Amino acid sequence: MTRVSGRAPLGNTPLGSAAPGNPAAGGAPRSAPRSTQGSGPAPLLRRILLQGQYETVTMLRNGEQLILAIVMPLLAMIGLTVTPLLDGLGSSRINIAVPGILALCAMSTAFTGQGISTGFDRRYGVLRFLSTTPLGRTGLIAGKILAVLAVLLLQVLIVTAVALPLGWRPEPAGLLPGLAILVLGAAAFTALGLLVAGTVRPEATLAITNLLWILLGALGGIVIPAERLPALAQAVVHFLPSGALGQALRDAFLHGSVNAAAVFVLLLWTAIAGGAATRWFKWN
């Protein structure tokens, strides 16, 4: 499994070198985005947008995160279209594969990528530093959420651009519900990622998020439908955020329907993980 670093490097500077935002390595702590007009702090919305832009660029500059967020989902999609694993499920291989790949993209960015990034920000004191600036804790978390949504949009565009020539034909009635479900799934995984990043050591966050990415991707019902999984896995995947998101997207893009039970599971995970992260997240 590719090792995903924490705070993405600027340029080609490796993690741990004297880079901006890495005070543990001698670099100056990164500062919160500032307004170029006037001497006072920028309005909150502008601060959040600037922080979101910074977080997005930082994520996209990290080659390891790009492999996890884009390259590996694309390889998985192509692999599913050239193997008989998805045969006999009532539609073409590509039509069944793409919803699961989009769900995998959401988990890669919102859970694994953002979780590791936040964990190492916490280790180097970046979270504590930024939380004392006019950006504040609310603005910092909002900026991270904006970054997740921006990268997820890029992932959707890339997957769509590759899938359409391969024959993907989603149900038109399910496009808007599917996108809304994808955003909900990203919210659930972001909450889970922040919960892990804010409660355990960064090295543990790295191990936990990567391990869960592998397990949920292979056996969590996110890419491979539950009916193709072992009997024991079938009994539990519908209650996991991975299984709920994968099934809800397949129902939307294949049949144009909304799986209310799966949506409820995602809402429940978002509420529980979000509440737990709010309660136990440690900024230091």
Query: Considering the domain boundaries, does residue 35 fall inside one?
Result: no
Query: Considering the domain boundaries, does residue 175 fall inside one?
Result: yes
Query: Considering the domain boundaries, does residue 91 fall inside one?
Result: yes
Locate 225 and state its tokens. 């439908």
Q: What's the mean pLDDT in 75-84?
A: 95
Q: What is the mean pLDDT of the chain?
A: 87
Query: Considering the domain boundaries, does residue 117 fall inside one?
Result: yes
The domain total for the chain is 1
pTM over 0.85: no
pLDDT at 2 over 90: no
Q: For the chain, what percent of residues have pLDDT higher than 70?
A: 86
- Cβ-in-10-Å burial (0-12, 13-18, 19+) of 90 comes to exposed
Residue 254 domain boundaries: 42-280
Residue 107 binned pLDDT confidence (cut-offs 50, 70, 90): very high
Query: Considering the domain boundaries, does residue 249 fall inside one?
Result: yes
d(CA 154, CA 159): 9
- In tens, the pLDDT along 224-263 reads 999 899 888 888 999 999 999 999 999 999 999 999 999 9
Question: Looking at residue 34, what is its pLDDT?
Answer: 52
**Cβ atoms 160, 173 nearer than 8 A:** no
